[in-house]
Structure 1
Amino acid sequence: MLEEGQLYSPVEEHDDGTVTVHLAPNHPGVADAAYLARRAQIARLALTWRPGEPVPVVDYTDAEHEVWRAVCRELTAKHRRLAHSAYLEAWAAVDLPTDRVPQLAEVSERVGARTGFTFDPAPGLVPLRQFYGALADRTFHSTQYLRHPSQPLYTPEPDLVHEVIGHGVSLAAPPIAELHRLTGEAARRLHDEDALRFLAKVFWFTCEFGVIAEGGELRCYGAGLLSSYGEIEEFRRADVRPLDLLEMGTADYDITHFQPVLYRADSLAHLMDVVGGFFATMDDETPARLRGARAAP
């Protein structure tokens, strides 16, 4: 099984202050020296940033703005057909620019005005406890780099498109923001690493790849689907199952392919009752209790 953390390219900080971003061999930018340097430059901004300071401003290039424009242009129509209404309402409310890359501080200001969530810069992968725990404080750790311009509709790793169009806009929807906050509170209660991984898997199948019934159709609310040009068109062809906390918390998944199994909430209220209730009450013993309940005659 490939884990979610493997989505990120390792960032190495050297003694002389320089930074190297190690892209996977199949990454579109792995042989592009200019792109590698750009990734290192943006990663260094996050590495030198300290909490309480203004979020670093990235002077995005024309090529990066064009990537953002292309993604927004292609995803907007797909969202109207396939995204849950809570997401569409949040998108209209935050009114992020579609003709240029928004600054992370700008996203914080617009999303924070609705739900209090703000965005801290991250050079790449953030440790599970730090990432999930910060959600309790309504803080989301976000990258600031964009995918390689040769493939604006594809990325093998989370980038600013995923963080903002996927998670950022969703966090302007009060129910989804609350689901993230409850995730953070649960993570802070956990001491057992297996329990934390169980939580992370439930988060993956809901906040990242969750689908929901609305108006007689299946729509998506998961950030991974909302930010993916290809997968958003395919999720209705997946093996869509009812919400099942034990299955979600123990399932293997492969990050390199479209998710073949998804879990459906019957409504937003159902999502908050089942998944929100799970995060609100989870402790280190919850996975064992769920297994025991399933095994009971």
Structure 2
Amino acid sequence: MFEEGQLYAPVTADEDGTVTVHLADDHPGAQDQDYRRRREAIAGPALGWQPGDPVPRVEYTDAENEIWATVCRELAPKHERLAIRGFLEGKEALGLPTDHVLQLDEVSAGLGSLSDFRLHPAAGLVPLDVFYGSLADGVFHSTQYLRHGSQPLYTPEPDVIHEVVGHCNLLANPGIAEVKRRAGEAARRCQTPEGLQYVADVFWFTIEFGVMYEHGELRAYGAGLLSSYGEIEEFRGADVRPVDFHQMATLEYDISHYQPILFACDGMSELTDRVGGFFAEFDDETPARLAHDAA
């Protein structure tokens, strides 16, 4: 089990409106004051944004666009070799540029005709109930900042590359988008923190770090793998297990390292039908039932 707050640098606002992004001491940009100021300039409008407002635009710099271009260039051959067909089809349909970062509303316009999803800006961490529940409405909360330029192929936290290259190319596939909607509906039905955490943990081992057998070959569909230059090359060496929702939700693991245990769907139908069906039927009684069945 994990706490999603560990994934994001906390963002706070003082009474005078000053926004601070609290980077960990080992963050690549921790000692770079220009990077810190840039992060805070991007976080401020997102932090104050309300549904119905225009989505804040970020005028990305040449250096930021170069980070995007570098990651897209390096990930492209890995996607062709290691990503599931459904992701590749979504990627082709969405047609993201590879030389510059798109604005969130531009990505939303592309997704609208494919899966009717849209992006809302996030300064950093979004509460679990809001993040997952919003998926039921076709809303995905996305950060807008980029990783530090000293390590363009690494980020210790989700950035706009993870959100857009990883998640939005998945959302361009209607079948996978529907699984995410069902996860959101499951979250909305939860009346207990334990139930919501169960949904979040299964989501982690499927939509974030899921793998799948296609024609006997293990391929990635999790956004965390598809947006990671390093981890996408390592997942075939993990302890790969069949889909087991109770294990997913009760397994102890460390999010700061490559995932040593992954769960593989046997083809797209297991993702859309079985995982999607799990979310569609989930309620607060499900964890106790699955624990009983596993005993």
Aligned mates of 1:3, 1:238 — CA distance in 2 = 22
Could you tell me how far apart the structure 1 residues matched to 2:103 and 2:27 are? 25
Distance 2:136 2:5 in 1: 20
Matched-pair contact (CA < 8 Å) for 2:211–2:222: yes
Measured against aligned partners, the alpha-carbon deviations of 1:244-266 in whole angstroms (never above 9, x if no partner) come to 01100111121110000000000
Unaligned regions of 5+ residues in structure 2, if any?
none
1:249 equivalent to 2:249? Answer yes
**Partner secondary structure for residue 109 of structure 2:** helix
* Aligned pairs (5 A) from 1:45-60: 45-60=45-60
Deviation at 1:273, TM superposition (A): 2.1
For 2:284, the equivalent position in structure 1 comes to 284
In the other structure, the counterpart of 2:70 is: 70
- Is the contact between residue 2 and residue 201 of structure 2 (CA under 8 Å) also seen in structure 1? no
Q: Distance in 1 between matches of 2:92 and 2:103?
A: 18
State the partner residue of 1:269.
269
1:28 Cα shift?
0.3
For the residues of structure 2 that align with 1:227 and 1:73, how far apart are their CA atoms?
12
Q: How far off is 1:2 after superposition?
A: 5.3
> Which letter maps to 1:242?
P
Whether the 8 Å CA contact 2:239–2:260 is kept in 1: the answer is yes
Instruction: Quote the Cα distance in structure 2 between the aligned partners of 1:27 and 1:163.
Output: 19
Hey, what's the Cα distance between the residues in 2 that align with 1:3 and 1:73?
32
Whole-angstrom distance in 1 between the partners of 2:3 and 2:228:
18
CA–CA distance in 1 between the matches of 2:150 and 2:113? 35
Identity of aligned residues (%): 62
Structure 1: 5+ residue runs without aligned partners?
none
CA distance in 1, matches of 2:122, 2:53: 14
Q: Do 1:4 and 1:255's aligned partners in 2 also have CA atoms closer than 8 Å?
A: no
- Matched residue type, 1:72: C
Q: 1:265 is matched by which residue type in structure 2?
A: C
Please name the residue that 1:34 is paired with. Answer: 34
**3-state DSSP of counterpart to 1:115:** coil
AA matched with 1:172? A
Structure 2 residue 191 is matched with structure 1 residue 186: no
**TM-score w.r.t. length of structure 2:** 0.98
Q: Distance in 2 between matches of 1:178 and 1:76?
A: 25
Q: Report the alpha carbon displacement of residue 102 of structure 1 after superposing the two structures with TM.
A: 0.9
Residue 236 of structure 1: aligned partner: 236
Deviation per residue, 1:54-110 (Å, 9 max, x gap): 211100011100100000000000000000001101111111110111111111010
Corresponding position of 1:154: 154
The 1:282–1:269 alpha-carbon spacing in structure 2 relative to 1, beyond 3 Å, is same
1:255-290 deviations in Å (ceiling 9; x for gaps): 110000000000111122221111000000000000
| Structure 1 residue matching 2:113: 3-state secondary structure | helix
Could you tell me which residue of structure 2 aligns to residue 130 of structure 1?
130
2:197 corresponds to which letter in structure 1? R
Aligned to 2:198: 198
SS at match of 1:114: coil
Q: CA deviation at 1:53?
A: 1.6
Partner Cα distance (2:199, 2:128) in 1: 10
What are the superposed Cα offsets for residues 196-241 of structure 1, whole Å, 9 maximum, x if unpaired?
Answer: 1111100000000000011221001100000000000000000000
Alignment check: 8 A CA contact 1:3 1:255 kept: no
Q: Does 1:227 align with 2:258?
A: no
Equivalent in the alignment of 1:211: 211
Is the partner of 1:155 in helix, strand or coil? Answer: coil
Instruction: After TM superposition, list the pairs within 5 Å mapping 1:100-179 onto structure 2.
Output: 100-179=100-179
8 Å Cα contact 1:3/1:254 also seen in 2 = no
CA deviations on 1:92-142 (whole Å, 9 max, x unpaired) are 111111011111111101012100000000000000000000000000000
Greater shift, 35-44 or 246-255, is seen at 246-255
Partners of 2:48 and 2:291 lie apart in 1 by 44
8 Å CA contact 1:71, 1:152 repeated in 2: yes
Which residue of the partner structure matches residue 258 of structure 1? Answer: 258
Residue 263 of structure 2: SS of its match in structure 1?
strand
Q: Which amino acid aligns with 2:163?
A: E
TM-score normalised per structure 1: 0.98
- Aligned residues between the structures: 295
